[in-house]
Structure 1
Amino acid sequence: MSTDQVEQPEVTTAYEGATMIITINRPAARNAVTYGVAQAMAAALDELDARDDLAVGIVTGAGGSFCAGMDLKGFLCGELPSLPGRGFAGITERPPATPVIAAVEGYALAGGCEIALACDLITAGRGARFGIPEVKRGLVAAAGGLIRLPERIGPNVAMELALTGGFLDAERGHQLGLVNRLAADGGALEAALELAAQIAENGPLAARVSKQIIVESPQWSATERWQRQQELTDPVFASADAHEGAAAFAERRSPHWTGQ
């Protein structure tokens, strides 16, 4: 009998209805991100955006921990787990157009926290911990932590986390608005699936454009914001899905979305 071990993929994908579940699968390393993980994540996110039958993505980690950040062993060998134009883990600089939920158990630290911040919503087990402790290793949270965390929890708390390298527990994260839904430990993925199912009931074009406006509008000037919004929303109002939504309401039935 062969003693060869089958190498497990570093990122796995699964599907539940209109939801794609992307799992970082390096539990022995607390799902620390390698260049291979970044490539596989990018490929999965491209599939998420390309498929009309998928409305929501979930990013999670195997083995009871979300992600401990960059694989430091790889870093010492000169490997950077980032992709040009896409950033750390293939997501932090260019998140997908499709809504994405981070389902966090255990630790979401450094780059792992930045992956969660690149997602649109976060569910977390009550024992989860968030942090950007890069300063403890002489590094900087340059994959979005210093940019996105102040927007999510306020600049003062974010400054403390950035300068001390301390942790933020899930309960406090929920109070500050970082975590959308708290769950019992081990229940973050189930909570994310429930949230994803609620999103998937809605028009996919409307959901994507709603996400786009919320993400992009803070950079719009006061004089252009209404025009910029109208440019994005006019095609939605003219879409077949908009007609279907109105017809379904009038006919007292569930809508049948096509994404068109």
Structure 2
Amino acid sequence: MGGTEHLTVQREGATLVLTLNRPEAKNALSLPMLVGLYDGWVEADEDDTVRSVVLAGAGGAFCAGMDLKALGGKGMEGQQYRDRLKADPDLHWKAMLRHHRPRKPVIAAVEGYCVAGGTEILQGTDIRVAGESATFGLFEVKRGLFPIGGSTVRLQRQIPRTHALEMLLTGRPYTADEAARIGLIGHVVPDGTALERALAIAEQINACGPLAVEAVKASVYETAEMTEADGLKSELERGWPIFDTADAKEGARAFAEKRPPVYRRA
């Protein structure tokens, strides 16, 4: 497993847990963090024993956005990170899930601040849990900036446009309850328990057929902007091959035998 000084990686069964680890800066994005994040997404994609990913933050915060000083060259630990960005100028967008979609389900476990770049990364995750005191928002316009991490495109596709525009144009903070009400997040839990709930959801996913899970996720995103007719055609192309897998036969057999299935990605 990889990781950097600002991004820790650990395994919880079949779940890969990526933790933004710069609590003294409310986990503001730095180059070491972005490199670690990108490597974590690649590890999850390439390791077939990983069935889900949980993204969390250390020290009671998720992510307070971009650290412009660090990304500008101050506070960046190690030439190797600058070399990585030079070798792949798109690396930071892949790390923030703007230009990369992991094939495994990604669950966000949010505590505390999840603002600016934090809310932008959030939009690249699949399932979202937040502590009741969490704070969300896209503050860029208040600073004369543009939320270029994908929010002007994605947010209106994930929540009603009137709410998306209010969040984008006012730059105001949103509570966890309000974020849940408008559909930005799915669960509000007691503070300090977001990771626990996210891992519990991951365990439910991990118990399912991995080939089926990945095909379902891919189909949802592939068909999101299609016409209904095109989407239904695409769904069949994704879905029918799953019925021919050994895992599908194992699922039916386990149900008949009243035992947990043992899936082998075959």
Q: TM-score scaled by structure 1?
A: 0.91
| Counterpart code for 2:172 | G
CA displacement, residues 194-240 of structure 1 (integer Å, 9 cap, x when unaligned): 11111111111111111111112122234422221121112211111
- Would you say 1:62 and 2:58 are equivalent positions? yes
Q: Which range is displaced more, 68-77 or 205-214?
A: 68-77
CA contact (8 A) 1:56 1:98 kept: yes
CA displacement, residues 137-157 of structure 1 (integer Å, 9 cap, x when unaligned): 221111122222222221111
CA contact (8 A) 2:163 2:182 kept: no
CA displacement, residues 111-138 of structure 1 (integer Å, 9 cap, x when unaligned): 1111111000100000001111111222
| Counterpart code for 1:174 | A
| Aligned alpha-carbon RMSD (Å) | 2.0
Q: Which residue of 1 aligns with 2:253?
A: 247
CA contact (8 A) 1:33 1:89 kept: no
User: Could you say if the C-alpha distance between residues 182 and 96 of structure 1 is closer, same or farther in structure 2, counting changes exceeding 3 Å?
Assistant: same
- Would you say 1:145 and 2:151 are equivalent positions? yes
Which residue, 85, 110, 116 being the options, matches 1:104? Answer: 110
Structure 1 residue 35: Cα displacement: 2.1
CA contact (8 A) 1:109 1:132 kept: yes
Which residue, 53, 78, 94 being the options, matches 2:49? Answer: 53
Which residue, 230, 233, 237 being the options, matches 1:231? Answer: 237
Q: Percent identity?
A: 39
The correspondence of residues 77-96 of structure 1 with structure 2, limited to 5 A, is 77=73, 84=90, 87=93, 89-96=95-102
| Counterpart code for 1:137 | R
**Inter-partner Cα distance in structure 1 for 2:147 and 2:163:** 15
- Would you say 1:74 and 2:70 are equivalent positions? yes
**Inter-partner Cα distance in structure 2 for 1:105 and 1:38:** 19
Q: Which residue of 1 aligns with 2:194?
A: 188
- Would you say 1:203 and 2:219 are equivalent positions? no
**What SS does the corresponding residue of 1:92 show, helix, strand or coil?**
coil
Q: Which residue of 1 aligns with 2:79?
A: none
CA displacement, residues 20-39 of structure 1 (integer Å, 9 cap, x when unaligned): 11001111111111222111
**What SS does the corresponding residue of 1:118 show, helix, strand or coil?**
coil
Q: Which range is displaced more, 224-233 or 181-190?
A: 224-233
**What SS does the corresponding residue of 2:45 show, helix, strand or coil?**
helix
User: Could you say if the C-alpha distance between residues 83 and 30 of structure 1 is closer, same or farther in structure 2, counting changes exceeding 3 Å?
Assistant: farther
| Structure 1 unaligned residues grouped into runs of 5+ | 1-7
**Inter-partner Cα distance in structure 1 for 2:160 and 2:221:** 17
4+ residue stretches of structure 1 with deviation over 3 A? 75-83
Q: TM-score scaled by structure 2?
A: 0.89
| Counterpart code for 1:140 | F
Q: Which residue of 2 aligns with 1:5?
A: none
CA contact (8 A) 1:39 1:90 kept: no
**Inter-partner Cα distance in structure 1 for 2:89 and 2:130:** 27
Q: Which range is displaced more, 210-219 or 184-193?
A: 210-219
**Inter-partner Cα distance in structure 2 for 1:215 and 1:85:** 22
User: Could you say if the C-alpha distance between residues 88 and 74 of structure 1 is closer, same or farther in structure 2, counting changes exceeding 3 Å?
Assistant: farther
Q: Which residue of 2 aligns with 1:13?
A: 9
- How many residues are matched? 253
Structure 1 residue 90: Cα displacement: 4.2
**What SS does the corresponding residue of 1:224 show, helix, strand or coil?**
helix
CA contact (8 A) 2:54 2:198 kept: yes
CA contact (8 A) 2:31 2:71 kept: no
Structure 1 residue 165: Cα displacement: 0.4
User: Could you say if the C-alpha distance between residues 149 and 106 of structure 1 is closer, same or farther in structure 2, counting changes exceeding 3 Å?
Assistant: same
CA contact (8 A) 1:58 1:192 kept: yes
